[in-house]
Amino acid sequence: MARASYRWVIVAAGGLLGCIAIGAMFSLPVLLQPIARDTGWSVTGVSTAMTIGFLAMAVGSVGWGVLSDRIGPRPVVLIGSALLAASIAWASRATALIEFQFVFGLLVGTATAAIFAPMMACVTGWFDSQRALAVSLVSAGMGMAPMTMSPLTALLVSSHDWRTTLLIISGIVAAVMIPTALLIRRPPALDRAAAATASGEPAPAQTGPSVRQVVRSPLFIVLLLANFFCCATHSGPIFHTVSYAVSCGIPMIAAVSIYSVEGLAGLFGRLGFGLLGDRFGAGRVLVTGLLLQAFAVLAYAFVSDLRGFYAVAIMVGFIYAGVMPLYAVIARENFPLRMMGTVIGGTAMAGSLGMATGPLFGGMIYDAMGEYGWLYVGSWAMGIGAFLIALTFRFARGPRTEEAPA
């Protein structure tokens, strides 16, 4: 199939893989209260599994990213899909909190990391034009999780216990993700280089910066810090929204629908920010989005009814979902294609570390105070930090790619 056609197959496959993987991992916020009630484990203890998961994603993102640069994205995504299905099935049988934290945290987080960085790197390599839009569409697929997997999880747990629910989700992961992973191919430029090496031809001389130079460059460091604080801004509000809404007296099914509203808004945000990034530059659009995100998450502190939650969810979903794909676009515009897995894996590591802060500190705040108000104040402060760091994009000078800009 011609490259012009197959690149959109890569986008569709990446979106589907991301939707199922992220949706499977984020089944935990929906199951947070049922697990705590059934087992007697604390909200903080169950939330810690998610924190461990994000830490595992942080480490795994770098490892999987480097591996995908070496062997290609398809085998990495296949391994990750199989590991994700097995890990969720194991978590459904956990009988002790520490076992659940290890399995759902360490293993599920590691498996999920095998999808994000390799797929984002792969997609950026398939597109010379419309790159921000393509990356945003893959991210939009991931953003479908709140509208698909979260309601499905809520529906399942309303008629089954949480263990059976996780077992069913494991089956969905295996049935959908493993066949879809077989559709993934290397970007054509890297595929040609790999074929030449396999046939014994001398490898083309590589120009441009080394990995060591890249990871020490100002732009890469700025990307890491901005992504960390950006994800720390929205991780707590995302993870604890359902629990917060339930604590305000909103029924579980209605509370989960807030995720769906947020996810729907996120679809428009990803598309909108992607188009804006192609037109005005990803860095400039990112800076604006980070400032808006800080005040959007703060608004959660002032709502308590379903209508208010919906209004804030629309704002938060549109903005945070819109800014996230821009990091991959900035990476592709400034660093070599041959190390995209490593670069995006590094930024994903920083984002995962940021995401790890919200579940833990949100749970600690709730257990200590019985409410979530200070979580959103802290999230706002993180958001302002992300904005201030991103302002330095105009001063950072990262190494350019060895390819001519498209």
Give residue for tokens 């062997």.
Answer: 71
Residue 396, pLDDT score: 46
- What CATH number did the domain enclosing 21 receive? 1.20.1250.20
Euclidean distance between CA atoms 129 and 131, whole angstroms:
5
- Report if residue 1 sits inside a domain: no
What domain range is 283 assigned to? 10-187+211-394
User: Residue 154: which pLDDT band, with cuts at 50, 70 and 90?
Assistant: confident
Q: Among 62-71, 173-182, 204-213, 255-264, name the one with the lowest average pLDDT.
A: 204-213
Residue 15 phi/psi, 5-degree rounding, is -65, -40
Asked if residue 205 is part of any domain, the answer here is no
183-218 pLDDT, tens digit each: 998 887 665 555 544 455 555 555 566 777 777 788
Residue 380 lies in a domain: yes
User: What single letter denotes the amino acid at residue 63?
Assistant: G
Return all residues near 199 (Cβ < 8 A) that are at least 6 apart: none
Whether 132 maps to a domain, the answer reads: yes
Q: How many angstroms separate the first and last alpha carbons of the chain?
A: 22
Give the per-residue SS3 of the chain.
CCHHHHHHHHHHHHHHHHHHHHHHHCHHHHHHHHHHHHHCCCHHHHHHHHHHHHHHHHHHHHHHHHHHHHHCHHHHHHHHHHHHHHHHHHHCCCCCHHHHHHHHHHHHHHHHHHHHHHHHHHHHHHCCCCHHHHHHHHHHHHHCHHHHHHHHHHHHHHHCCHHHHHHHHHHHHHHHHHHHHCCCCCCHHHHHHHHHHHCCCCCCCCCCCCHHHHHCCHHHHHHHHHHHHHHHHHHHHHHHHHHHHHHCCCCHHHHHHHHHHHHHHHHHHHHHHHHHHHHHCHHHHHHHHHHHHHHHHHHHHHCCCHHHHHHHHHHHHHHHHHHCCHHHHHHHHHCCHHHHHHHHHHHHHHHHHHHHHHHHHHHHHHHHHCCCHHHHHHHHHHHHHHHHHHHHHHCCCCCCCCCCCC
Higher pLDDT residue, 403 or 102? 102
CB 77 within 8 A of CB 184: yes
Domains: count for the chain:
1
Flag whether pLDDT at 274 surpasses 90: no
Judge whether 400 lies within some domain. Answer: no
pLDDT of residue 114: 92
CA distances from 101 to 37, 265, 345, 365 (A): 16, 31, 24, 19
Residue 330 lies in a domain: yes
Choice between 213 and 123, residue whose per-residue pLDDT is larger = 123
Does 280 map to a domain?
A: yes
Binned at pLDDT 50, 70 and 90, residue 266 comes out as confident
Structure token digits, residue 342 = 């490593």
Instruction: Calculate the dihedral angle through the C-alpha atoms of 15, 20, 24, 25, rounding to the nearest 10 degrees.
Output: -20
Per-residue pLDDT at 332 exceeds 80:
no
Tell me if 251 sits within 8 A of 187, measured CB to CB.
no
Lowest-pLDDT choice from 15-19, 56-60, 301-305, 377-381: 56-60
Residue 194 domain-assigned?
no
